[in-house]
Structure 1
Amino acid sequence: MTVTSSTTTPRPAESKIPAGPAPVRRSRPDLLPYLLIAPVMIFIACLALVPAVFTVVQSFFKVDALDPPTRFDGFGNFVRLAKDHAVVGSIGNTALYVVIGVTLSTLIGIGAAVVLQKPFRGRSLVIAVLILPWAMPGVVEGILWTGIFDPNAGLINSVLSSLHLSDGDAVLLGQNRLLTIALIELVQVWQIAPLSVLLILAVLQLIPGELYEAAQIDGCTPWSAFTRITLPLARPGIAVTMVQAVIATLNVFDQPYVLNGAANTGASVTMQTYFISFQDLDFGQGYALSLLITIVTLLISLVVVRLVYRRVEL
């Protein structure tokens, strides 16, 4: 009898080798957002950047349709502008426009926004009516106010005559420089103040009501709540409001041109740019004056943002 013994050979233990990190698959950049905004960026570049560069370059050239050809003139255009009495006078007028316009539009914007801050019946209707002057073209506003300032049948002269303060035939525009600028700027403030109100109101709506309730519990008066809560937290909106007012007043054209024509008593720098470029056909000086207006606008806007704007974290 044969006995067969079977032996089982033990299998070697499988060694566990730690697996390495999974290979990182590099995802391709998503180009769709850039493709979607590319037409807008190209349009902005063609509409704004190209003319801006062209203006900067041409401001250093003698571009006069009555004195061809175009030739490099260095700072000649700027020197002639500094010697032009009409341009110098318009700079003073524009400075007054800026001071009056920015101050009044900001104060009106703050006051009206505080009134509209709390909901009340008919507030939506008031806001809708408030937008109308801002949406109206400046030329149309100038024509409307021409009737109000009319020396014969104007509303202001009628009121003054009713109050026995005038004979009812006073010439309000074109005689006195300060009065002319003040009245013209009132018309522009009537146009830009609604936007100031909306910008500041948008910021006030973000202020939590709990802050005012806590201040009232602590015995804070309404004026103290306004100066310690409303104004500090509304500074971003006030800064934006002042910047848009600076831009509008520095580039004022429609109102003084319609109400006062080409008279030096109310002419603005933008009006002088128009006269130099399209009446005198001296486009080189027109480019130079436009460049100066742009630089001054940027500088004043940066100063306003630097002094007024503060980041608010609620």
Structure 2
Amino acid sequence: MSEGQLDAPPVTASADGPAGKRRRRFDPLPYLLVSPLALFIIALALVPAAFTIIESFFRVDALDPPTRFIGLGNFRRLFGDHVVLTSAENTLIYVLIGVGLSTVLGIAMAITLQHKFAGRSALIAILILPWALPGVVEGIVWSGIWNANTGLLNSVLTSLHMVDHYHVFLGQHRWRTIALIELVQVWQITPLSALLVLASLQNIPGDLYEAARLDGCSPWAAFRRITLPLARPGVAVAMVQAVIATLNVFDQPYVLNGAASTGSSVMVQTYFISFQNLDFGEGYALSLLITLATLAMSFCVVKLVYRTVEY
């Protein structure tokens, strides 16, 4: 060995190197910042959800105390209640009409707004208004259209001599009542669907459309092969929010149709069972079923529609 090698000090791992890497100090700041939101979610979502699950297996009736465990008794009574089953059928129709119509209209509106034009920003702002309005306000506004005595629709139809007398549009015929009520909700939820799909369309590179145009691709073919496949994440989210909104529809049926069973939804029946009949145990059970149905349908929509997009 050379003299320089004999005199060289032994190599030791630095305290900051891989062999002696210092342990990172615990930083409580991220946890302090997240804790208020976590506590808020636990207090307003998880605790009530757990309470609902537990109480759904008990007989909780303010007119028949005390609270007692009855197992699946509340669920058996729900499945034997003709009014509840009818409202469940109505809600399923609301879901089919609402999800399908709001998705189709949302895609059409998003494609219209995809390209910049004069007044586009103002049109988007106006588009948001129906979604921003509370459901009760929308029900009151549209009651002025459907009203049998002073409704705008009856006035227009009689003025055009299309009918010779005022008609009752809500409450008598089940299918017509459901269709008109769901039309009000579609008017509310479609703007959000359009904005969600529009957000996906904005991420599609324009080069793809230019290449398709050069290859002789028609607008319809470009829509099928480029727009629709690449917008599937936004379409899936739009459909999920429509499923949640239609499964939990309450304001529009209650304001427009009241207690009539022709257009009653499951959420309306939950309100009647819990706060009019004071049978909170059965109301908890029905709320739990609605929650499970919402999760199941949303999961199915995501699995069927959502696809990861890579450009």
Q: Residue in 2 aligned with 1:19?
A: 11
Aligned ranges for residues 84-103 of structure 1 at < 5 Å?
84-103=81-100
Residues 1:52 and 2:46 aligned together: no
Q: Is the 8 A contact 1:200 1:238 kept in 2?
A: yes
Q: Residue in 2 aligned with 1:192?
A: 189
Residues 1:249 and 2:246 aligned together: yes
Residues 1:228 and 2:220 aligned together: no
- Structure 1: how far apart are the matches of 2:72 and 2:146? 42
2:269 to 268, 272, 276: 272
1:71 to 68, 71, 84: 68
SS of corresponding position for 1:134:
helix
Number of positions where the alignment pairs a residue of Structure 1 with one of Structure 2: 304
SS of corresponding position for 1:147:
helix
Per-residue CA deviations over 1:19-43 (Å, capped at 9, x if unaligned) read 1221321111322111111111011
Deviates more, 1:246-255 or 1:16-25: 16-25
2:145 to 148, 156, 161: 148
Residue 155 (structure 1) shift: 1.9
Return the letter of the residue paired with 2:119.
G
Residue 13 (structure 1) shift: 8.1
Q: Is the 8 A contact 1:274 1:286 kept in 2?
A: yes
Return the letter of the residue paired with 2:140.
I
Structure 2: gaps spanning 5 or more residues: 15-19
Superposition CA RMSD, Å: 1.3
2:295 to 270, 293, 298: 298
Structure exhibiting the larger radius of gyration computed from Cα positions: 1
- Structure 1: how far apart are the matches of 2:248 and 2:171? 20
Q: Residue in 2 aligned with 1:287?
A: 284
Residue 138 (structure 1) shift: 0.6
- Structure 1: how far apart are the matches of 2:264 and 2:165? 26
Residue 134 (structure 1) shift: 0.6
SS of corresponding position for 2:7:
coil
Q: Judging changes above 3 Å, is the alpha-carbon distance between structure 1 residues 13 and 88 closer, same or farther for their aligned structure 2 residues?
A: closer
Structure 1: gaps spanning 5 or more residues: 1-10
Residue 177 (structure 1) shift: 0.2
Q: Residue in 1 aligned with 2:17?
A: none
Q: Is the 8 A contact 1:151 1:168 kept in 2?
A: no
Per-residue CA deviations over 1:254-306 (Å, capped at 9, x if unaligned) read 00100010000000000000000000000000000000000000000000000
TM-score (norm 2): 0.95
Identity of matched residues, %: 67
SS of corresponding position for 1:64:
coil
Per-residue CA deviations over 1:40-68 (Å, capped at 9, x if unaligned) read 10111011000000000000001001111
Return the letter of the residue paired with 2:272.
F
Return the letter of the residue paired with 1:74.
G
TM-score (norm 1): 0.94
Q: Is the 8 A contact 1:142 1:258 kept in 2?
A: yes
2:126 to 124, 129, 132: 129
Runs of 4+ residues deviating >3 angstroms: 11-14
1:139 to 136, 141, 146: 136
Residues 1:39 and 2:36 aligned together: yes
- Structure 2: how far apart are the matches of 1:36 and 1:227? 45
Return the letter of the residue paired with 1:254.
D
SS of corresponding position for 2:296:
helix
